[in-house]
Amino acid sequence: MTTPPKARRAVPPPMAWAPPAPFDFFALTHADQWLAHVQAGRIGNRIPATPEQLEQHAHNERVLLGVRGAD
């Protein structure tokens, strides 16, 4: 009695070489500029919405989404 041959896995073809993606230096610049705005107080110091405004926003979303009883 002979033993069956071992199953072999298919070897994928070698991948084509491609240069690595360049590092996104623009993202670093943008993050630095954004942080400078935050530290200078130009971002994040907005007057908060009143409860009436928040309720109006919620109502508008219910109307747009078609929730029953929103009218």
**pLDDT, tens digit (0-9, with 9 covering 90-100), for 8-45:** 767 666 666 655 556 766 777 888 888 888 888 887 77
> How many separate helices (H) and strands (E) can be counted in the chain?
2, 0
Give the pTM: 0.36
Position 70 pLDDT exceeds 80: no
**Residue 15, CB half-sphere, CA atoms under 13 Å: how many?**
3
Angstrom distance (rounded) from CA 29 to CA 26: 5
Return d(Cα 30, Cα 36) in angstroms, integer. Answer: 10
Cβ(25)–Cβ(16) below 8 Å:
no
Under DSSP, is residue 57 helix (H, G, I), strand (E, B) or coil? Answer: helix
